[in-house]
């Protein structure tokens, strides 16, 4: 076997969990062969350069072998080789994510805490009846 559909190869190489997920990502333009967008039926052969984006992770790999069977991860890793530049960029992005501050800590306002809720309730019920009365008696 010297050629195989790209969706089957991505599934066998464990880039995506199912072939339908691989087809969806290919249709969205997140998989390129030799820099060109493809369709799921496009055949891939050894020597092709793939750009695969999954979430925020982008990989550039060279196809080394073809397999239509999904095997264990160590066997699937033998089907491709990631370029040195791609590895470097992925490690750099992971380091930036690790060093970035937690987004939730930057929020000045958000959901009120229990203390905030109690203070708001106290303000609401504490002086309301004394200051503003809708009764005729006052």
Class of domain 4-99: alpha beta
Residue 33 pLDDT > 70, yes or no? Answer: yes
C-alpha span between 55 and 50 (Å, rounded): 16
C-alpha span between 22 and 65 (Å, rounded): 18
For 71-111, the pLDDT digits (tens) are 999 999 999 999 999 999 999 999 998 888 776 666 566 78
For 34-62, the pLDDT digits (tens) are 999 999 999 999 999 999 998 888 999 99
* β-strand pairing of 80-82 with 43-44: unpaired
List the domain boundaries for the chain: 4-99
Q: pLDDT averaged over the chain?
A: 87
pLDDT at site 61: 96
Task: Dig out the tokens for 13 from the structure.
Answer: 């190489």
Q: Provide the b/e sequence for 25-60 (b: ≥16 CB within 10 Å).
A: bbeeebbbbeeeebebebebeeebebbbeeeeeebb
| pLDDT bracket for residue 113 (50, 70, 90) | confident
């Amino acid at each position: 076997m010297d050629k195989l559909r790209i969706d089957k190869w991505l599934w066998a190489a464990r880039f995506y969990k199912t072939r339908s997920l691989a087809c969806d990502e290919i249709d969205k333009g997140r998989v390129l062969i030799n820099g060109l967008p493809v369709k799921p039926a496009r055949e891939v052969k050894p020597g092709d350069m793939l750009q695969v984006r999954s979430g925020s992770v982008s990989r550039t790999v060279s196809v080394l072998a073809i397999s239509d069977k999904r095997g264990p991860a160590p066997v699937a890793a033998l089907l491709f080789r990631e370029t040195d530049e791609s590895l470097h960029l992925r490690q750099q992005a992971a380091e930036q994510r690790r060093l970035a501050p937690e987004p939730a800590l930057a929020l000045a306002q958000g959901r009120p805490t229990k203390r905030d809720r109690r203070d708001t309730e106290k303000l609401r019920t504490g002086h309301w009846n004394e200051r503003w009365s809708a009764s005729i008696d006052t």
